[in-house]
């Protein structure tokens, strides 16, 4: 009986690791003054890769500060 909690913890840990490392389709949306001004498809990649690519779109263009986030 004591092995059951350990097995459950191992299964949950493996599931979390698999879920966070999976590649998915991500999109990036940039807003300015609460309006979406730029939206692009980032393709199939990891969450970290998508976040890094989306952060590259963050910029100040002619005094506009774009806030970009993945979804």
Mean pLDDT of the chain: 85
- How high is the pLDDT of residue 58? 83
Summarised one tens digit per residue, pLDDT across range 57-68 is 887 667 788 889
- The encoded tokens of residue 34 equal 């609460």
Count of Cβ atoms closer than 10 Å to residue 28 Cβ = 21
- Residue 15 domain-assigned? no
Number of structural domains the chain divides into: 1
Strand partners, 26: 43
Look up the pTM and report it.
0.63
If pLDDT is split at 50, 70 and 90, which confidence band does 13 have? Answer: confident
Domain that holds residue 28: 23-71
């Amino acid at each position: 009986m004591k092995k059951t909690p350990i097995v459950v913890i191992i299964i949950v840990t493996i599931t979390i690791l698999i879920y966070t490392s999976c590649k998915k389709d991500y999109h990036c949306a940039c807003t300015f003054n609460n309006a979406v001004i730029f939206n692009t498809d980032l393709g199939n990649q990891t969450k970290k890769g998508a976040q890094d690519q989306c952060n590259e779109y963050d910029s100040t263009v002619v005094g506009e500060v774009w806030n970009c986030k993945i979804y």
